[in-house]
Amino acid sequence: MLSIIKKETTPKISQQFIKTITKRLMSSLTVIDREGKKNKLEFDEGMTLYEAADEAKMKNVLGTCGGNMACGRCQVYVKQSDLEKLDPAEEEETQTIKDRSFKPQPNSRLACAMLLTEKANDIEVTLAPLKGKK
């Protein structure tokens, strides 16, 4: 009888344990969309913001180049106090923002180039306006 109980309860305990551990390991950030709505986005360390948004089916973050740092449409504004939690932008990203993004700001980043680490947990980004959109 004891072995039957063990077999029946062990998978449930293990599944709950896995869910709990996974939840603790996942980090999240806030994405403010172009309508001003705040959206929580979970990510794994090492993903880009673009990859996390794509995985979450958050299409309004995605650009038109497939995350290849070519179109500048995945531009986000990082909350000023959160910039230090991210690695600095590399030259290619900075140049793409300058050449292709609409209304670039000093705190602009490209979602496709923005690597998310554990330090990025709880940061806040706002989607930049698209050219020709209000």
* CA R_g for the chain: 19
Is position 9 within any domain?
no
How far is C-alpha 10 from the geometric centre of its chain's CA atoms? 35
To the question of pTM greater than 0.85 for the whole model, the response is: no
Q: What is the pLDDT of residue 134?
A: 42
Residue 22 is assigned to a structural domain of this protein: no
Positions in the chain whose pLDDT score sits under 50: 1-3, 134
The residue among 28, 30, 26, 27 whose CA lies nearest residue 79 is 30
Coil, helix or strand at residue 24: helix
Can you list the alpha helix ranges (DSSP code H) found in 26-61? 49-55
Whether 63 maps to a domain, the answer reads yes
19 burial (CB, 10 Å; 0-12 / 13-18 / 19+) is: exposed
Percent of the chain past pLDDT 90, that is, above it, reads 72
Beta bridge partners of 109: 76
Q: In whole angstroms, what is the distance from residue 28 CA to residue 9 CA?
A: 31
The domain that holds 45 is classified in CATH as 3.10.20.30
User: Quick one: pLDDT at residue 23?
Assistant: 54
How many domains are there within the chain?
1
Residue 66 is part of which domain span? 27-127
**Residue 58 counted as domain residue:** yes
Asked, for residue 134, whether it belongs to a domain, the answer is no
With respect to residue 74, please indicate whether it lies within any of the assigned structural domains: yes
| Beta-carbon count within 10 A of 12 CB | 9
Q: What pLDDT shows up at residue 61?
A: 87
